[in-house]
């Protein structure tokens, strides 16, 4: 496995793959890897001849400096996991390599970035689309794999790639969960045992909404079910619940008419957790 820390190194490595006619699949991550990331890596292996993973805790997408400072990191462990999975190359640059002159130029999906989860984390998606554009320009993959857990992020990236005519296929991968239903996330490690137990309420609320959607619940009733389920857990605070048309994220109301996305942000013990489910009427 090649470990590249400079733009010149990863460009040279990928150029070699392309000269051999190989299709390059990219997995973007912020490290502290878990089984969710590993399913993205396996999907990349199925989608391409060469798998490149990037590990970069991107400072421009953190609107909260404390969240950035506390973001978990363990590069040695990450590299061992990627090596065991047969990854071809890893790109782990310093922030000074990626932002040598600061963040003067930005890329933003104007409306999509600032609604829903983006309204709760101002500037977050602008940081994501800017860094993803940088890495797409540096690595020039044929295909890139993103998790559906970050549902709005996936839709933002689909839209950016379409609008900016980037010749890159974007693939979404289903969320991997712990045995009790909690979506795997690097931030879960910051939960105390009591908060970890309470965090099961996220997936429980989505399961309750899914069941209600199938028996004809309206958008307002789904909001009520999510609010009541999260509200019954004193350690959890519902920060955001968005029920929108899948993929376009357009506002909907009344009875469900098609594939609908429910996206929730819940604070548990001071840690912001997100989860998502697509439901059908």
Ligand X SMILES: CC(C)(CO)[C@@H](O)C(=O)[O-]
The 3-state DSSP class for residue 54 equals: strand
**239's tokens:** 């920060």
Q: Does 30 bind ligand X (CB under 6 A)?
A: yes
**φ and ψ at residue 67, rounded to 5 degrees:** -65, -40
Return the number of the residue (144 or 222) whose C-beta is nearest ligand BAL: 144
Interacting span for ligand X (CB under 6 A) from 22-30, 197-205, 235-243, 256-264:
22-30
Q: Which does 53 bind (CB under 5 to 8 A by kind): ligand ATP, ligand X, ligand BAL, none?
A: none
8 A C-beta contact, residue 91 and residue 10: yes
Site mask for ligand X (CB under 6 A), range 53-82, x = bound = -----x--x---------------------
Q: Using H for helix, E for strand and C for coil, what is the string for 59-107?
A: HHHCCCHHHHHHCCCCHHHHHHHHHHCCCCEEECCCHHHHCECECCCCC
Do β-strands 260-268 and 236-245 pair in parallel, antiparallel, or remain unpaired? antiparallel
Q: Which does 173 bind (CB under 5 to 8 A by kind): ligand BAL, ligand X, ligand ATP, none?
A: ligand ATP
Q: Does 87 bind ligand X (CB under 6 A)?
A: no
Q: Known catalytic residue: 117?
A: no
Site residue total, ligand X (CB under 6 A): 10
Q: Is 191 annotated as a binding residue?
A: no
Site mask for ligand ATP (CB under 6 A), range 139-178, x = bound = -------xx-xx----------------------x-xx--
Do β-strands 143-147 and 169-173 pair in parallel, antiparallel, or remain unpaired? parallel
8 A C-beta contact, residue 203 and residue 182: yes
Q: Which does 131 bind (CB under 5 to 8 A by kind): ligand BAL, ligand ATP, ligand X, none?
A: ligand X
List residues with catalytic annotation. Answer: 37
């Amino acid at each position: 496995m090649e470990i590249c820390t400079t733009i010149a190194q990863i460009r040279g490595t990928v150029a070699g793959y392309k000269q051999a006619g190989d299709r390059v699949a990219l997995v973007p991550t912020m490290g502290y890897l878990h089984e969710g990331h590993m399913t993205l890596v396996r999907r990349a292996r199925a989608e391409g001849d060469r798998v490149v993973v990037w590990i970069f805790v991107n400072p421009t997408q953190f609107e909260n400096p404390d969240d950035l400072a506390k973001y978990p990191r363990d590069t040695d462990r990450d590299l061992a996991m990627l090596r065991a999975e047969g990854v071809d190359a890893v790109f782990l640059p310093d922030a000074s390599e990626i932002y040598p002159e600061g963040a003067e130029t930005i890329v933003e999906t104007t409306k999509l970035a600032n609604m829903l989860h983006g309204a709760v984390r101002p500037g977050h998606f602008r940081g994501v689309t800017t860094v993803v554009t940088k890495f797409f320009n540096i690595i020039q993959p044929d295909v890139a794999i993103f998790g559906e857990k970050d549902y709005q992020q996936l839709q933002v990236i689909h839209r950016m790639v379409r609008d900016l005519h980037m010749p890159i296929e974007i693939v979404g991968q289903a969320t991997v969960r712990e045995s009790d239903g909690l979506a795997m996330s690097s931030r879960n490690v910051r939960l105390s045992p009591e908060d970890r137990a309470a965090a099961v309420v996220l997936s429980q609320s989505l399961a309750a909404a899914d069941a209600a959607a199938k028996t004809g619940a309206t958008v307002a009733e789904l909001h009520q079910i999510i609010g009541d389920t999260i509200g019954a857990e004193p350690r959890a605070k519902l920060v955001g619940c968005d029920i929108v048309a899948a993929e376009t994220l357009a506002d909907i109301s009344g009875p469900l008419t098609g594939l609908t996305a429910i996206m929730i942000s819940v604070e548990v013990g001071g840690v912001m957790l997100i989860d998502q489910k697509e439901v059908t009427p």
